[in-house]
Amino acid sequence: MKIVWLALLLALPGLVFSPGKSLAEEAEQAEASPALSADGIPIDETTFIENIHQFDKDAIIAQFGEPARKKDYHRAGTDELMASVWQYHYINTGLDGTYYQTTELDFVGDRVVLVVFMNHDGDDGSTTRQEVVPGL
């Protein structure tokens, strides 16, 4: 009989011996973590990157407003939108809690495909920008 109990204890270590946090501690951590809410996009860089793809342009505008800079790229010779680049200022925090000066969101269609955090205003200094994506 001792062998049966030992086998059960070894087979189910997560249920019998819970070396982690209690349920109350886990609930407190979940409340304190920057998890997604029904109407909120997380702002810390790690959670933001992990979850931003779930939100469309309308949800992003609803939370952060219109971007400080916005550039649309169209298929050559048409009005078909291929991609968009949006820049926001001071919306995301780094691991140390300080805000990035600029967050760039690159869209294909209605979804974010690339996030860039910058510690400058995001102006590349050029006076001309390519507006057409050739060959796409």
The percentage of the chain sitting over the pLDDT mark of 70, rounded to a whole number, equals 62
Residues 68/74/80/82 CA torsion (nearest 10 deg): -70
Distance CA 54, CA 48 (A): 10
**Predicted pLDDT of residue 23:** 43
Distance CA 117, CA 90 (A): 10
Print the domain residue range for 25.
1-33
Q: Are residues 64 and 24 in the same domain?
A: no
Q: Are residues 82 and 52 in the same domain?
A: yes
pLDDT in tens, 6-17: 444 444 344 333
Dihedral sign for Cα atoms in the order 47, 55, 58, 128: positive
Q: Are residues 71 and 121 in the same domain?
A: yes
pLDDT in tens, 86-108: 999 999 999 999 999 999 999 99
Q: Are residues 46 and 22 in the same domain?
A: no
Q: Are residues 13 and 51 in the same domain?
A: no
Looking from the CA of 98 toward its CB, the CA atoms found within 13 Å total 5
Tokens for 43, please give them.
Answer: 């702002």
Reported pTM? 0.63
Phi, psi of 105 (to 5 degrees): -115, 120
Q: Are residues 98 and 49 in the same domain?
A: yes
What Rg do the C-alpha atoms of the chain give, in angstroms?
A: 23
Instruction: Specify the range with the lowest mean pLDDT, choosing from 28-37, 63-72, 110-119, 122-131.
Output: 28-37
Residue 134 lies in a domain: no
Q: Are residues 53 and 111 in the same domain?
A: yes
The tally of domains found in the chain comes to 2
